[in-house]
Amino acid sequence: MRNPSSLKQEFLKKWIKGLQICSATKKKMSIIERKKAIKLSADIAMASTRKFTTYWSHSLLANASKDDTNKIIINNILGNDDISKRSMIFKKSSMGLLAMSQKIIRCKKIVTKSCKISRQRRQLNFSPKQVEVGCTISRKGRKMISPISIARKLVKKRTQILKSLIPGGEYMDNVSLIKETLDYILSLRVQVDVMRHLANASEITNPKTSL
């Protein structure tokens, strides 16, 4: 991760440029449209500061590029980078995400097959202690879910939630997800710090408007 100070400067520069492009593209905007323009330009500026080094930035820019208007903003914010180079990077990124998704599918198939074998063993009347993974049998013969099984379910559920929050997270494995999440959080912190400083500066220069 680069120096936060230089990241903030680069983000602010690109964000302002994105806002200028948004305002030039559409002169009259409603409050909702302005909010969307601010968020869009901020997201693109934040992703562009990562220099195509993270999956979340690739995914964010790729999703934004689906709209033709957003493509204009992206091309202007990214500056004089070679278009063919960018397209090649996007292609490599999409291939990497595809490989990750295929790996996840294979893992799911393995888990499904394991569960199927486990059910077949139950039908063959194997000993409950040999079959029931993550479960214990009480003295009264009742099946009790072990803390390990509960913890696994919680981890799985929270991992799914995290994947839904990180751009491109659904294609990441758990190790990549942790790395990408940390980088994404740091980038969001840079974005929030810049916005907070601008808001504070606006309140100081225009105290009446903040009332």
**pLDDT tens per residue across span 168-179:** 898 888 888 999
Asked if pLDDT for residue 113 goes beyond 70, the answer is no
Domain membership flag for residue 134: no
- Residue 170 has what DSSP assignment? G
Instruction: Tell the residue number behind the tokens 């230089």, with chain if given.
Output: 6
Q: What is the mean pLDDT of residues 61-86?
A: 72
Our count of domains for the chain comes to 1
Flag whether 143 is in a domain.
no
Three-class SS state of 144: strand
Is 135 a domain residue?
no
97/60 Cα distance (integer angstroms): 13
Look at residue 44 and tell me if it is in a domain: yes
> Which among 114, 108, 86 is positioned nearest to 170, based on CA atoms?
108
Q: Is 133 helix (H, G, I), strand (E, B) or coil?
A: coil
What pLDDT score was predicted for residue 1?
57
How many angstroms separate the CA atoms of 63 and 166, rounded? 13
Which pLDDT does position 129 carry in this prediction? 46
pLDDT at 181 over 90: yes
Range of the domain at 8: 2-95+149-203
Is there a domain that residue 140 lies in?
no
SS3 135: strand
Percent of the chain with pLDDT over 90: 14
> Does residue 130 lie within any of the structural domains?
no
Q: What does the pLDDT read at residue 70?
A: 80
User: Can you give the length of the chain in residues?
Assistant: 211
From residue 90, alpha-carbon distances to 68, 135, 172, 194 in Å are 16, 46, 16, 28
Is residue 9 in a domain? yes
210 inside domain: no
